[in-house]
């Protein structure tokens, strides 16, 4: 079977057949976790939860890049925006995330120079166009985004740009999976692994994790049919008691990923401990700019320190990110915390679990 267009992946007939098969196979009550914000949104938008049998519960894990960004990092972004002569370049969905006292959106309304860019290349272009300003790109995201940021840093080094730097708040997926398993209250019977991240790191990057825990793992694409396919494979593994690491997205994901992207990533960044909202410090789960590129590290250039910052009071984002709670179980959900007045990042980001529940479900 060759499928060409994205539209065809949404093929209603194929989806219905997969749903039928899942309904027939699924016996045990199971909890499957998707670890990618794009999966979360696709699941809600396509109404996948409403067609799956009662036996299958889908949980959203720490897969929304904005949501896992630590409060202290958000505060640092705001502090940077307030520095005179600094232009902050950021992906759009960070704009509304409330820090301890402000957000980038508010700073922009106050007249600070905060610009939404669609890629790091655009941030680089701003720096080239305006040598009088210090342009800082907010590096947030997983293995998918990080190589493009690394490429921009390498390009800036090549151009000897003195007014471009990056604050690296990047996070890595495999260490987060490891950390999740270490949290006692987290109960997951199988993982739907992120497609885009896997395009870069490859299926084999999950092998050590899989061998340690022998838990069903399937890499999935983003169309409703892709996700249903992955759920079907996970159910099959679980019902047969044969956990495996499988690839339901072979048209994009290979065993060893994208070598070129991994090379530039390793050239510019090195693994470092990182703080995740809701999980805390995870060893070697972030990326730090290597000493050779220190000139482009905004933390060093501006002498930033990240003071401890407490998450907002009563906000259950941390528990929601680890699948311990669902949004309706948070006391603030829909009452105090709405997309108009978000308390935590899971309500702000378009890929946040709370925003998805709010927008797409009755719960």
Contact footprint for another protein (CB under 8 A): 5-7, 10, 12, 15-16, 19, 37-38, 41, 44-51, 65-66, 91-96, 105-106, 109-110, 115-118, 122, 125, 140-141, 144-145, 196, 224-225, 228, 338-341, 349-351, 358-362
- How far apart CA 179 and CA 19 sit, in angstroms, is 32
CB of 150 to another protein, least distance (A): 15
Between β-strands 217-219 and 114-116, what pairing exists: parallel, antiparallel or unpaired?
Answer: unpaired
Question: Where would I find the beta strands (DSSP E) of 145-241?
Answer: 164-168, 190-193, 217-219
Please say which residue, 118 or 310, places its beta carbon nearer to another protein: 118
CB of 265 to another protein, least distance (A): 16
Helix axes 120-129, 146-159, angle to 10 degrees: 20
Please say which residue, 70 or 93, places its beta carbon nearer to another protein: 93
Please say which residue, 93 or 232, places its beta carbon nearer to another protein: 93
Please say which residue, 145 or 285, places its beta carbon nearer to another protein: 145
- How far apart CA 244 and CA 219 sit, in angstroms, is 11
Q: Using alpha carbons only, how large is the chain's radius of gyration in Å?
A: 21
Please say which residue, 99 or 245, places its beta carbon nearer to another protein: 99
CB of 96 to another protein, least distance (A): 7
Please say which residue, 106 or 290, places its beta carbon nearer to another protein: 106
Q: Which residues contact 19 (CB under 8 A, 6 or more apart)?
A: 51, 52, 228
| Residue 19 backbone phi and psi in degrees, to 5 | -60, -45
CB of 105 to another protein, least distance (A): 6
- What does each C-alpha distance from 191 to 213, 222, 296 come to in angstroms? 12, 15, 36
CB of 238 to another protein, least distance (A): 22
CA nearest neighbour of 74 among 356, 345, 351? 345
CB of 64 to another protein, least distance (A): 9
Helix axes 224-239, 12-25, angle to 10 degrees: 20
């Amino acid at each position: 079977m060759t499928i060409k267009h994205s539209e065809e992946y949404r093929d209603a007939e194929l989806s219905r057949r997969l749903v039928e098969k899942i309904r027939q196979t699924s016996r045990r009550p199971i909890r499957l976790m998707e670890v990618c914000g794009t999966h979360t949104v696709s699941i809600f938008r396509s109404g996948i939860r409403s067609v799956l049998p009662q036996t299958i519960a889908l949980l959203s894990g720490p897969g929304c890049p904005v949501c896992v960004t630590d409060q202290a990092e958000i505060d640092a972004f705001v502090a940077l925006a307030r520095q005179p002569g600094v232009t902050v370049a950021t992906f759009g969905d960070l704009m509304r995330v409330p820090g301890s006292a402000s957000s980038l959106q508010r700073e922009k309304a106050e007249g600070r120079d905060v610009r939404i860019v669609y890629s790091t290349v655009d941030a680089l272009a701003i720096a080239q166009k305006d040598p009088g300003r210090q342009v800082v790109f907010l590096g947030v995201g997983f293995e998918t985004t990080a190589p493009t940021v690394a490429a921009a840093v390498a390009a800036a080094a090549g151009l000897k740009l003195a007014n471009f730097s990056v604050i690296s708040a990047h996070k890595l997926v495999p260490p987060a999976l490891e950390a999740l398993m270490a949290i006692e209250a987290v109960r997951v019977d199988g993982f739907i692994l992120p497609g885009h991240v896997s395009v870069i790191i490859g299926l084999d990057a999950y092998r050590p994790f899989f061998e340690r825990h022998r838990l069903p793992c399937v890499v999935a694409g983003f169309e409703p049919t892709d996700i249903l396919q992955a759920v079907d494979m996970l159910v099959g593994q679980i019902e047969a008691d044969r956990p495996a690491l499988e690839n339901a997205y072979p048209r994009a994901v290979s065993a060893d990923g994208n070598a070129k992207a991994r090379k530039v990533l390793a050239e510019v960044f090195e693994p470092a401990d990182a703080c995740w909202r809701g999980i805390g410090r995870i060893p070697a789960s972030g990326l730090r700019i290597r000493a050779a590129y220190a000139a482009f590290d905004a933390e060093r250039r501006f002498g930033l320190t990240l003071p401890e910052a407490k998450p907002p009071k009563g906000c259950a984002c941390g528990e929601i990110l680890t699948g311990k709670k669902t949004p309706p179980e948070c006391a603030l959900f829909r009452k105090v915390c709405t997309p108009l007045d978000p308390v935590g990042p899971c309500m702000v980001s378009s890929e946040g679990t709370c925003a998805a529940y709010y927008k797409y479900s009755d719960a």
